[in-house]
Amino acid sequence: MQQMYMTWWGSKHPDAYYESDTHYSSVKKSDLSSLLIPMRASPELFISATFILSLAILVLGLPASLMHGDSLHSSVASITCLDDFEAIYGFNKAIEKNEFYDFGRNRGSRPESIFAAKTEASHRVKKKKVVSPALTSTRVATYKPVIDKHVGILLARLRSRLKVSLDGKNNGTTVVNMAPIVHQFALDTMLELVFGPSLAQHPYTETPAGEGVCSNLRTMTKMAWSFSLWPVFGWLMNTRPVDAMLRRPTYSKQGVLTGMAGLMGVAMPKLLRNPQQVVASPQPSIVKGWLEVPPDDANRMTPAELASESSNMIIAGPGSTAAALTAVIFHLGTKEGQIWQQRTRDQVRASKSHDLWPSSPELQAVIKETLRLTAPFPTAFPRVIRPGAETAIPSLPAPLPVGTMVSANTFVLGRSRELWGNDADEWKPRRWLGSEQHRREMETKFVAFSKGSRSCVGRELAVLVLAQAVIGIIQQWRFRSQGELRGKSFLEMQYDECWIEFEPLDLSLSA
């Protein structure tokens, strides 16, 4: 429910609060009930509950309340102002990240990843090391054969599921839950894109070591975000006894260490200790790009940085990619979406160059509209006001004290009627089509990958994976969505159910 919040203690200005289209409350210690106000719904109930709990603890007991008075000014607002979003996440060097991005761990125990870099200067250094050798547009284009390979595996898995259905083992239907299949595809694809073929000769999730890794990764992601939302919980869960219990190893029938313990504890370290395995491969990969930076280059990563950045990509990439692709498939299967299925299919067939397929205007419109309406990260990533940014957020009537935590929500902005019109809650890819000028204007409102220098460094790679997977599926089947798209949000969306009924375009495929 919480779209944006700002809190500060004992403001001397009676008008120092954020006025919005929702609610404002001035909270006394003796009246916490005013926190329990109706708010615009979004997939953040867990976050709001944590925030209110933390707020209650602060109001009741934090010494700062005695120093500055007994009022806490708090706003929980729906931010529909793009200027505010750009001020928070754009190029303002005095609005920085905080310990939220440490996931409850001691920062001194490992290098900061690009995702956790607190200052603009630190992020700039990290970005040169991460993006330039491995994630430029030119470099991303070289990964297409790897993506196509995994799209082929995705299609083979889907055919296998459909064959089971047609054989009568699933009530004779051709309905498949795409959510777990897509997540498996996203993880296998990302692992090979990051580490190359040396990690496994087959898709990693199909190896003995990959048993249970998909569910383990989802659990790890939930816990990581929970640590950030509730730092005390993060500290507790990272104490040695609890950490040892959570990291209790699991083994396959062959005696191979499985799950995330097998991946993070065995496979990745082995690979990083023997970088020649990665560099020697003719197949491009992200880690190979990093390792090919000359040793005397300032942008060369240390082994610890390699481990940190590659781990960051494995934790952050597959889940959001799976959420996006699952949502795209679901929307394409709706009544409106089936029209766009055919339009995209026709445009792909009409194109003479396979390289142009991912950039099809219809396909890009489908992807962007889905990301707008069903954001993979549908929540608010916090930033902290540092000296010099007190008046940086343009819509506020008064300066914010240094240390104020601020955030703006992609889910809310993606459904803002001020930005997208009265049909903002509807899935309409055609809004992305039109003149070049119109498309540029639309792009300025698009925040699914954030904005500014800290926008998602994997945007081009993610869009390419989405496009290739969608192209592969629509060339094989017509499909219809059944029921609703169901899942849970822990900052990152995790879908559990996406039931799709498939009809092969070529009748021979049903044999």
Q: What pLDDT is attached to residue 277?
A: 86
Question: Which residues line the annotated binding site for heme?
Answer: 456
Q: What pLDDT is attached to residue 366?
A: 98
- Residue 133 included in any domain: yes
The helix or strand, by DSSP H or E, that contains position 46, with its residue range, turns out to be helix 45-61
Distance between the two ends of the chain, CA-based, in angstroms?
48
CB count, 10 Å around CB of 229? 22
- Residue 47 included in any domain: no
- The mean per-residue pLDDT over the stretch 125-144 comes to 97
Separation between Cα atoms, residue 356 and residue 446, nearest integer Å: 23
Q: What pLDDT is attached to residue 201?
A: 78
* pLDDT exceeds 70 at position 461: yes
Written as six digits, the tokens of 172 are 């004779």
* pLDDT exceeds 80 at position 365: yes
pLDDT digits (tens, 9 = 90+) for 188-204: 999 999 999 988 878 99
The residue that leads in pLDDT, 213 or 165, is 213
Among 100-104, 236-240, 496-500, name the most confident range: 496-500
- Residue 359 included in any domain: yes
Separation between Cα atoms, residue 88 and residue 74, nearest integer Å: 18
pLDDT digits (tens, 9 = 90+) for 277-332: 889 999 999 999 999 999 999 999 999 999 999 988 998 899 999 999 999 999 99
Helix axes 213-229, 45-61, angle to 10 degrees: 30
Q: What percent of the chain has pLDDT over 70?
A: 75
Look at the chain and report how many structural domains it folds into.
1
Q: What pLDDT is attached to residue 222?
A: 76
Helix axes 335-350, 459-474, angle to 10 degrees: 90
DSSP output for 57-91: HHHHH-HHHHHH-SEEEEEEE----HHHHHHHHSS
- Residue 25 included in any domain: no
Q: Which of 88, 101, 115 minimizes the C-alpha distance to 386?
A: 88
Range of the domain at 272: 79-510
Query: Is-contact 195 287, C-beta < 8 A?
Result: yes
Of 157-171, 292-306, 429-443, 452-466, least confident by mean pLDDT is 157-171
- The mean per-residue pLDDT over the stretch 495-506 comes to 92
Q: What is the chain's mean pLDDT, rounded?
A: 79
- Residue 464 included in any domain: yes
Separation between Cα atoms, residue 190 and residue 186, nearest integer Å: 6
Separation between Cα atoms, residue 178 and residue 340, nearest integer Å: 19
Among 51-60, 119-128, 214-223, 286-295, name the most confident range: 286-295
* Residue found by looking up tokens 């006894």 in the block: 241
The amino acid at residue 84 is D
Q: How far is CA 236 from CA 54, 61, 105, 222, 227, in A?
A: 16, 21, 10, 16, 9
Among 11-25, 158-172, 300-314, 325-339, name the most confident range: 325-339
Q: Which of 415, 485, 409, 449 minimizes the C-alpha distance to 47?
A: 409
Question: Which residues line the annotated binding site?
Answer: 456
Q: What pLDDT is attached to residue 94?
A: 87
Query: Is-contact 80 41, C-beta < 8 A?
Result: no
Separation between Cα atoms, residue 468 and residue 357, nearest integer Å: 8
* pLDDT exceeds 70 at position 236: no
* Residue found by looking up tokens 């898995």 in the block: 157
Written as six digits, the tokens of 467 are 């496009």
Of 64-73, 116-125, 220-229, least confident by mean pLDDT is 64-73
Separation between Cα atoms, residue 310 and residue 291, nearest integer Å: 12
pLDDT band at residue 17 under the 50/70/90 scheme: very low
Q: What percent of the chain has pLDDT over 90?
A: 47
**Cα three-residue angle 494-341-511, rounded to 5 degrees:** 90
Q: What pLDDT is attached to residue 245?
A: 61
* Dihedral Cα 285, 288, 289, 293, nearest 10 deg: 180
C-alpha radius of gyration, the chain, whole number: 24
| 494 three-class SS | strand
pLDDT band at residue 53 under the 50/70/90 scheme: very low
Query: Is-contact 40 76, C-beta < 8 A?
Result: no
Q: What pLDDT is attached to residue 80?
A: 59
The residue that leads in pLDDT, 158 or 245, is 158
User: Which CATH number is 154's domain given?
Assistant: 1.10.630.10
Query: Is-contact 64 507, C-beta < 8 A?
Result: no
- Residue 428 included in any domain: yes
Q: What pLDDT is attached to residue 34?
A: 30
- Farthest-apart Cα atoms in the chain, separation: 76
The residue that leads in pLDDT, 26 or 366, is 366
Separation between Cα atoms, residue 162 and residue 123, nearest integer Å: 46
Separation between Cα atoms, residue 320 and residue 205, nearest integer Å: 18
Sheet of 4-9: strands edge to edge?
A: 4-9, 71-77, 23-28
Q: What pLDDT is attached to residue 227?
A: 63
Separation between Cα atoms, residue 470 and residue 446, nearest integer Å: 21
- The mean per-residue pLDDT over the stretch 470-483 comes to 96
φ, ψ of residue 95 in degrees (nearest 5) = -110, 110
pLDDT digits (tens, 9 = 90+) for 64-102: 333 333 222 333 343 558 889 989 988 778 898 887 777
* pLDDT exceeds 60 at position 347: yes
Written as six digits, the tokens of 421 are 């019109």
Residues 6+ apart with CB under 8 A from 341: 332, 333, 474, 478, 479
Q: Which of 10, 99, 95, 123 minimizes the C-alpha distance to 388?
A: 95
Residue 257, strand partner residues: 251
* pLDDT exceeds 70 at position 54: no
* pLDDT exceeds 90 at position 348: no
Q: How far is CA 18 from CA 8, 92, 406, 486, in A?
A: 12, 20, 11, 33
* Residue found by looking up tokens 């997540």 in the block: 183
Q: What is the pTM of this model?
A: 0.82
Written as six digits, the tokens of 511 are 């044999």
